[in-house]
Amino acid sequence: MGNKILVVDDEKVILDLTSIILTAKGYDVRTAENGQEGLERIAKEQPDLVLLDYMMPGMDGMTALREIRVRFPDVYVIMFTGKGSEEIAVDLMKAGASDYILKPFNNQDLLDRIDNVLRIRRIEIHNRELREERERLLREIEEWNQELEARVEQKSVELEQAHAEIVQTEKLAALGHLAGGMAHEIRNPLNSINLFTQILKSSCPPEDGNLLYIDKIFQEVDRIDDILIKLLHASKRPRFHLESLDVTDLIDQVLASFSEQLKSQNIEIDKDYSPELQPIMADPAEIEQVFSNLFSNSIYEMSEGGRLAVKLTQDDEDVHVVVSDSGGGIPAENLNTIFDPFFTTKEKGTGFGLSVVLRIIKAYGGKISVDSTPGEGTTFNIRLPRTPAD
């Protein structure tokens, strides 16, 4: 079946004549006797082309043409006009008609004009489809570019995180070599100091005022030894014993150990534990040390009161712990160094607390990250495998 053509004319002879001519040429011809009926048939049948008479009772051709161009932009229109109405024909072309034919018309001229308008219609619609396809492809390319940029950015962040983890691992390994040597080299003279101080104390009478200074020496020796122990723990895993551990109970126990300090500093505790959390295989002392160090840091940052929040969730493989506080936060320039051994902002801190936390969590094949905004608080995100890595 050829193109669908609707003929709208109030003269039945014109309708019959055009129907015969166009049908013989293979067109699918429909007819309407007035403008309103023509609009209804266009809406229903969506013809490719309308042959529209200008002079009709009721709705004239100009009114019908304008309505067609607004409502049915893909329907092209050829106007029938009477001889001597060329000025009207020009106005019709300006209003959107594709061509006009003067009555009475020549049959071949009618067919030639219809063929020409349909050819133009095909070209214009095809060009429009090409433009739309081009715009669609450009949008897709833009979306792909945005997706690619997002993926590159994500991979860059992941690479930075992976690089940071490698650097941290290398720092801990270097610290391990350093700590072992330092412990040996420092403890030898430290033992000598302790021994000679004991001899010195034993030779002093009880009333000797120097005994106070001798006791101070013992205290400082113990303090140095304690620092050495912390240094070793920050870099090397001591003996451990894995057992089934309820993280919820352990965290509650650690919080209870800080109860007096929390109360005196007016710190509110906000606990959010998922129901029926499964236990993990871990050494209780190690996991206790993790949360003891994290809670201690948070409490230190909230000397004037605040909120300490702990959230526990789990999936098939891991337990996720989020520890957040409303303290002063961590300056951006310190975020990449807070897990470094010896790094501390406390006046009397040794800088081993968070490095120990990192070492323990990595020993279990877990991960820890930190988010902080100065003045708004700090959040630690921890992932602990329910079964530790080999």
The domain locations on the chain are 4-105, 161-235, 243-385
Phi, psi for residue 97 in degrees, rounded to 5: -70, 145
pLDDT over threshold 70, residue 203? yes
Q: Using 50, 70 and 90 to split pLDDT, how confident is the model at 342? A: low
pTM score, whole prediction = 0.50
Mean pLDDT of 60-68: 92
Task: Give the DSSP letter of residue 338.
Answer: T
Q: What are the tens digits of pLDDT across the range 283-333?
A: 888 889 889 889 988 898 888 889 999 999 998 888 999 999 998 888 887
β-strand pairing of 28-32 with 4-8: parallel
Q: What are the tens digits of pLDDT across the range 265-293?
A: 999 999 999 988 888 888 888 889 889 88
| The predicted structure's pLDDT at residue 44 | 94
232: left (phi over 0), alpha (psi -120 to 50) or beta: alpha
192 or 63, which is more confident: 63
223 touches 263 (CB < 8 A): no
CA angle 291, 293, 296 (to 5 degrees): 105
Mean pLDDT of 96-100: 91
Overall CATH class of domain 4-105: alpha beta
99 touches 87 (CB < 8 A): no
Helix ranges (H only) for the chain are 12-24, 35-45, 61-71, 86-94, 107-202, 211-235, 247-257, 259-264, 284-300, 353-363
User: Exposure of 253 by Cβ count < 10 A (0-12 exposed, 13-18 middle, 19+ buried)?
Assistant: middle
User: Exposure of 95 by Cβ count < 10 A (0-12 exposed, 13-18 middle, 19+ buried)?
Assistant: middle
| The predicted structure's pLDDT at residue 209 | 74
- 243-385: what fold? Heat Shock Protein 90 (3.30.565)
For domain 161-235, give its CATH number from 2.70.98, 3.30.110, 1.10.287, 1.20.950: 1.10.287
| The predicted structure's pLDDT at residue 379 | 93
CA atoms within a 13 Å half-sphere pointing along the CA-CB vector of 311: 9
